[in-house]
Structure 1
Amino acid sequence: MELTKRITQDGREEFYDIIPPDHKAYCKECVCHNVIGGKVVCRRDKLCNVKHEISIREKKAKEEEEKKPKVIIYSRVSTEKQTLEQQERTVNEWLKDHNMTATQEVSDEGVSGGVTYKDRNLGKIVLPMLKKGDTLIVSEVSRIGRSMSDINKFVNDELKPRGVRLVIVQMGIDLDCAHLRAIDEMLLFAFSFSAQMEKELIQERTQSALDVRKKKLEEDGQFISSKSGKVVTKLGRPKKSDLSAARTAAAERRKKEAAEKPCNKAIWAIVRQCTNNFTELTKSNFSQASYTLQQMGIMSSTGKVLTLERVRNAYYNLRTVYEDRVNLRRDSADYRIMREKGMSDSDIKQYYKNLNNNINNNNQDIERKEEE
């Protein structure tokens, strides 16, 4: 049950369970019941037949939900300049056509298909969630990987024993991995062969272009970059400072794009309103925000209904967009460098906490000066 609280006249906090509307009638004669903000509530520390019945019903509902097959979407892009939008649109159209809803979305950004699935979120996050009867959906086979042996291991060693359904949308493949037929394995072999061949062709084109540029440098001492149009006098990766500046600029661009999305603006405004300017981040308040957004007809950026969990996750993601915060990401280069220096998880968390406190203090100083 959802929880709320109130402050008594003597300053004590009292916690209450919010009673669902269909059980209100049973609480009228109970001395433990109260009304707060128009909602019937019951003392958290008291147990009555109504609450006992509700807890049993919620437990059964949770068990039934856990038994339901999961539908998991996996997406991947190789570089930070690419986006997941096209893959998400392709998969969502397929889900809509088949009257299905995704229960989880996992992605890898800036990760090559040449990296084995075990070292990506596909192996670290997706596989532990999958069980018999679940469905894994990808837009194309190359999202799983670009190595025939890696794709074969993933399907036969991981999905097949689990009895998972694999859907590859653009190829029109829908496999029950627990009962793979010869024709299924042949199709999978053909498409995985195509993915690996495409990878090798990309490598050959890259090497060919590199050879041409090397020859240009030897003959003319320079060449014109086809991407930037600038004169280049030497090959190699940009200096670390240049690369860092480019990444920062790309991150700022993505942040600005996210801030301008109407759905993100609406979510941020409604959550602010329902949580008393972000000071009461309770489940009941997020539930109210979800209900309000649904009544307004606001959907997520991928066209999904804004459930309580999606609203809560969106709020925590949008904090980096609308607030000056630095979040801890365990897949970031900064985190890896800190671990290599011997810092523990708790030390890194404290570092980020202090960093955000300093940012907040600086912002407050700026606001105070502007007011003066």
Structure 2
Amino acid sequence: MILGYIRVSTDKQDNQKQKHLILEYAHSNSLKINDFIEVEISSRKSEKLRKITELKDRLQKDDTLIVAELSRLGRNMMDVMNLIQELSDKGIKLIFIRQPELSTFNSAHNKLLLAIYSYFAESEREFISMRTKQGLAAAKASGKKLGRKPGQKVKSKYDPYLEKIKEMLLKDVSITSIHKIIEFGTYVGLRSYILNNSELNKILTQNKDKTVSLLAINYLDN
């Protein structure tokens, strides 16, 4: 089995870019992806929530795991190295598309490279976090109001699909089916987008009310 793993931390990142990268790599190397594990969650969360536990349970000896880059597997250097060691010991082939030199984990040279990459990835995240906090503190000290203005709309990666989602909701298509049709994002992300969009949420609520009314009529008729 060939499994693709995709993880994004926030709505600002696009899991479709990772998916496209993996599919493009598979096509170029005459590989067939059997399935994807996709999750929209911070790397700070547990292995279970990041679906790493599911990933380890599903992969067996001689299977292949394809990931866009090393950082998708975790945030902490030791966690990433331990996971890769565990999968390698299990006989699973690992492919990091953006770091092909790390795809073989059976030599001292590659293990050293992996440690260096992991260290820099972890350090970069800490630097970005520190810089962001310093920037926010400086802005607050200068009297600048933080956060979005009242009534200001926040753009979502689902906005390009707004009309299509609206059309399907009006036809009483379930969120699960809509997610399968548009083949974008995650079910949780799509559901959150619909619930937080007043127009889409209204249509969804009306559909639920209509369903309840029909059930009540059928009950009374019987």
Asked if these proteins are the same fold (TM beyond 0.5), I'd say yes
Q: Does the 8 Å CA contact 1:259/1:321 hold for their aligned counterparts?
A: no
Structure 2 residue aligned with 1:142:
71
Q: Does the 8 Å CA contact 1:108/1:121 hold for their aligned counterparts?
A: yes
Compare CA radii of gyration and give the structure with the larger one: 1
Aligned residues: 190
More contact order relative to length (CA 8 Å, sep ≥ 6): 2
Structure 2 residue aligned with 1:128:
57
For 2:108, give the aligned amino acid.
A
Structure 2 residue aligned with 1:79:
10
Question: Which residue of 146, 169, 172 corresponds with 2:100?
Answer: 172
Shift of 1:85: 1.9
- Structure 1, gaps ≥5 residues long: 1-69, 218-222, 224-231, 266-277, 279-314, 323-327, 334-353, 364-372
**Secondary structure class of the residue paired with 1:119:** coil
For 2:44, give the aligned amino acid.
G
2: CA distance, partners of 1:319 / 1:96: 24
**Secondary structure class of the residue paired with 1:117:** coil
1: CA distance, partners of 2:56 / 2:164: 29
1: CA distance, partners of 2:92 / 2:164: 34
The equivalences for 1:23-34 within 5 A come to none
Shift of 1:183: 1.2
Cα gap change, 1:253 to 1:129, in 2 (>3 Å)? same
1: CA distance, partners of 2:71 / 2:20: 17
RMSD of the alignment, in Å?
Answer: 3.7
**Residues 1:212 and 2:130 aligned together:** no
**Residues 1:112 and 2:39 aligned together:** no
Q: Does the 8 Å CA contact 1:135/1:167 hold for their aligned counterparts?
A: yes
Structure 1 residue aligned with 2:30:
99
- Runs (4+) off by over 6 Å: 236-239, 319-322
- Length-normalised TM-score, structure 2: 0.70
Identity of aligned residues (%): 25
Question: Which residue of 159, 162, 182 corresponds with 1:253?
Answer: 159
2: CA distance, partners of 1:171 / 1:319: 31
1:79-137 CA distance string (max 9 Å, x none)? 1232112212221221111100100111111x1223343431122x2111000001111
Q: Does the 8 Å CA contact 1:117/1:150 hold for their aligned counterparts?
A: no
Q: Does the 8 Å CA contact 1:91/1:138 hold for their aligned counterparts?
A: yes
**Secondary structure class of the residue paired with 2:103:** strand
1:262-294 CA distance string (max 9 Å, x none)? xxx9xxxxxxxxxxxx9xxxxxxxxxxxxxxxx
Structure 1 residue aligned with 2:122:
196
**Secondary structure class of the residue paired with 1:105:** strand
Shift of 1:319: 6.8
For 1:256, give the aligned amino acid.
L
Shift of 1:169: 0.3
